[in-house]
Amino acid sequence: MALVAIGDILAILFMEPKGSGLGAISGSATVFHSRKPKDALLDRLAVVLSIAFVVLSLALVVFKF
């Protein structure tokens, strides 16, 4: 379970920032941009690891390992 949590954290940390930050205030935000293959892979990996973390957490609570 710790490996899943660490993998999820690393997948999220290696993603490129998606928000425009303070650039949205002045109008210099870029909303529409193409996703790089690395970002798509990290996004999918983060979702899968997050789901695995929730399932493992629930299994530990239900079965009291």
What residues contact residue 50 under an 8 Å CB cut-off, 6+ apart? 8
Which residue range(s) make up the domain with 39? 1-14+35-65
* Interatomic CA distance for residues 10 and 14, integer angstroms: 6
63 found inside a domain: yes
Neighbours of 54 (CB within 10 A): 11
Residue 52 · residue 4 · CB < 8 Å? yes
57 found inside a domain: yes
Neighbours of 47 (CB within 10 A): 12
* Interatomic CA distance for residues 55 and 6, integer angstroms: 16
**Residue 20 confidence (pLDDT):** 58
22 found inside a domain: no
30 found inside a domain: no
24 found inside a domain: no
44 found inside a domain: yes
**Residue 36 confidence (pLDDT):** 81
> Which band of pLDDT confidence, cut at 50, 70 and 90, is reported for residue 17?
confident
Q: What is the pLDDT of residues 21-61, one digit of tens each?
A: 555 566 555 555 667 888 889 999 999 999 999 999 999 99
29 found inside a domain: no
Number of separate domains in the chain: 1
